[in-house]
Structure 1
């Protein structure tokens, strides 16, 4: 099922009572800028959830730069902003869909089906002359009950156990230069997990800024085995989530997120690091 909705789709349903719109704008290195942008102007009725305060746990020794939030705490946050198990959720950002996709993945992980990412994002919404305001929505709490989908997640030790076995396809969603170990602006070590191939998450969008359709996503991953377990990671588990979406829409049946990602992997002394490019494993 397609997880993307268009600007016009949301405009037509803007005031439907079972929809909660979530503003997920966030800039790495400028942690307050997303909330400030939301308070200045947002899609009418939208609530704001912060990547680091709401959609991540505090940083510890392991778990990466954006550890998954505590489930009970996240469930409470979702309930507080009016998201129930029956709510249709539409998430947007201005970062190409990466932050909105983090919320999409978290809700799917908690067993919530009706969650979508808004195509193109907030700037495109504004440029289309669709309504915006700075009003703060009066929050009416709802009751959200999580049914955790543990099969969507993979931990570091399982990734390590699969290295060199040929049992899984490991996809690194970061920029090619970071994947190859040529540069590393955020983490203390450069390179990638051995055996990983590189598919930059943002290549899931076309030149027009819209997400590619299912056939176009399938073309990105042509040659990979759709039935083999596919593990996706990035720097901290955020920009990997658009690739999880894209792979599922392309027909891959077993896609899991390594949420700690590269920043978690290198927090364990002795984990192997590879540099340069690697060949994609052959599909069926």
Structure 2
């Protein structure tokens, strides 16, 4: 199992360095056609394509954020069809630096799966990449497990947490946090009381994660720990910060799935702009 003190990041530049028996997931956002084209252009040999919006999110409904979670049953069915059984270690990567794969890894770890993020993504892999459609995964039986509600606070719980002075971390870029720009949601700004920790700053210039000691200094200064709540625009890149907090040895913080995309659409919620 992926315990709260295990490093969620795995450094592997060759297939031989991957955990034995691991299911390797190549994570793509967007529609299936573009995801399949990107996968065919280059992937880790033996990897399975996971289209994020078909597996770990469901369509947005009124009152949701942009990437709500699927039901436990739908998730189990989708992962089973990709060959991801409960007993298999999982390594996920993307073509960025974990922007999308971190979302998959964090959610799987919440459910008790041994899941880790491939440090540096596809660019860090030094074995020749495979091209073409890849092989069809062998489906496995996977029983659903309920989402842990205590680790996924809803909008009311987040409001109460913020009002009580709890640690609330916004993983978006600083200009979005300050409300200077908002390319995706209808209103700019941040949740009052939040502090900003842009997920991209978890990385070194070469696109790999900073050492645990550096991350600990960064997030401990913000008060990060198991009671902290992390959000972003839609609950995706917040998971990058959540893995960084785990890597730092500060425990497993909580994810606000609805994030700013849900909060800003609710006229009853206060909004802030400017620095923290």
The CA RMSD over aligned residues, in Å, is 2.0
Q: What SS does structure 1 have at the residue aligned with 2:61?
A: coil
The separation in 2 between residues aligned to 1:268 and 1:121, in whole angstroms, is 36
CA gap 1:270/1:152 in 2 versus in 1, 3 angstroms: same
**Residues 1:122 and 2:122 aligned together:** yes
Q: What SS does structure 2 have at the residue aligned with 1:209?
A: coil
Give 1:41 shift.
2.5
TM-score normalised by L of structure 2? 0.91
Give 1:211 shift.
0.6
Q: What SS does structure 2 have at the residue aligned with 1:48?
A: strand
Q: What SS does structure 1 have at the residue aligned with 2:102?
A: helix
Partner of 2:88: 87
Partner of 1:63: 64
Partner of 2:12: 7
Contact 1:61 1:267 in 2 (8 A): no
Give 1:202 shift.
1.1
Q: What SS does structure 2 have at the residue aligned with 1:91?
A: strand
Partner of 1:106: 107
Contact 2:169 2:197 in 1 (8 A): yes
Partner of 1:74: 75
TM-score normalised by L of structure 1? 0.88
The separation in 1 between residues aligned to 2:19 and 2:180, in whole angstroms, is 48
Give 1:14 shift.
5.8
Partner of 2:233: 235
The separation in 2 between residues aligned to 1:253 and 1:92, in whole angstroms, is 22
Which deviates more, 169-178 or 18-27? Answer: 18-27
Partner of 2:3: none
The separation in 1 between residues aligned to 2:167 and 2:18, in whole angstroms, is 40
Partner of 2:200: 202
CA gap 1:25/1:6 in 2 versus in 1, 3 angstroms: same
Q: Which runs of 4+ in 1 moved over 6 A?
A: none
CA gap 1:86/1:13 in 2 versus in 1, 3 angstroms: farther
Q: What SS does structure 1 have at the residue aligned with 2:167?
A: strand
What CA deviation, in whole Å up to 9, does each residue of 1:225-247 have, x standing for no partner?
A: 35561000000000000101111
Taking the TM superposition and a 5 Å limit, the aligned residue runs for 1:75-224 are 75-112=76-113, 114-125=114-125, 128-148=126-146, 149-166=148-165, 168-224=166-222
Q: What SS does structure 2 have at the residue aligned with 1:44?
A: coil
Structure 2 unaligned blocks of 5 or more: 1-5
Q: What SS does structure 1 have at the residue aligned with 2:23?
A: strand
Partner of 1:25: 28
Contact 2:152 2:254 in 1 (8 A): yes
Equivalences, count: 270
